[in-house]
Amino acid sequence: MMNSTNNLDFVKEFVNSKVQVLKTESVDKQQLAFEVNQNDVHLLLSSLKSAGWIQMSYLSAIDWIEENKFEMVYVLFNWDKPVYIQVRAKIDRENPVMDSILPIFPGAKYYEREVHEFFGIAFPGNPDYKKQLILEGWDDIPPMRKDFDPKVYSDRKFPKREYPQDFSVTDPKNNSKAKREAREVRATSLRGGKKQ
């Protein structure tokens, strides 16, 4: 009988038999993550696809700026053995290039365009990964990189409203909180009936 524990064991054995796994992580009861080398990603994805993980649920990237690496994450799902598999691979951050997985999962076309737009990772093999998808007329470094400062960009691009005085509650001169508490105390003192 199949159950989720069997499935997890099967996945671990299967992946380890195919490629060299750097790190295994169990995300939750139905999700396993395998970190592999960049060159093994395509082999692993195609073997998983023939083993039944036919759905590529998501493709994204993570910026590990301290390590100077990008991490690609591919999430696959199997409709017969309900286990999500994350395939992770760290790639160079200075010159980020990751071969496209279009021959394996054609649906990754738009995900790769999105990743290119938000992280600047190149996907040779995807004919139009450079076309804009979400950001229109972007004129700065890709916005999901950790060295991009959205506040600076927002201050530069969008006019801000000027306020004549500081309405902030953190302002020491703003005593509206004390006033509110004094009002509450007075309201309680005026309240009739049984005192609590």
Partner 1 sequence: MKSTKFTPVTKLSKEEVDRKWWEIGDFFRRNSLWMLMYCTGCCAIELPPAMTSAYDMERLGMGPMATPRQADILLVSGYLSLKTLRRLIYTYEQMSEPRFVVALGSCPINGGIYHDSHAVINQLDQYIPVDVYVAGCMPNTESVMNGFVDLMIKIKNKTAVGWKNYHKNFEWYKENQLNSLGEVVVHDEFHQ
Q: Please identify which residue in the block is written with the tokens 């004549």.
A: 164
Residue 151 lies near partner 1 (rule: CB under 8 A): yes
Out of 3, 95, 158, 187, the only residue in the binding site for partner 1 (CB under 8 A) is 158
Query: What DSSP line would sit under 162-179, residue for residue?
Result: --SS---TT-TT--HHHH
Q: How far is the CB of 97 from partner 1 (least distance, A)?
A: 24
- Considering only residues 104 through 143, tell me which ones interact with partner 1, judged by CB under 8 A: 131-132, 134-137, 139-140, 143
Give the other-Cβ count within 10 Å of 11's Cβ: 21
- Both tokens of 190, joined, read 């005026």
β-sheet bridge partners, residue 76: 56, 85
Binding residues with partner 1: total (CB under 8 A): 19
Interaction of residue 4 with partner 1, rule CB under 8 A: no
Binding part of the chain for partner 1, among 7-15, 56-64, 145-153, 170-178 by CB under 8 A, reads: 145-153
Q: Using CB under 8 A as the criterion, which residues of the chain lie in contact with partner 1 when the complex forms?
A: 131-132, 134-137, 139-140, 143, 148, 150-151, 153-154, 157-161
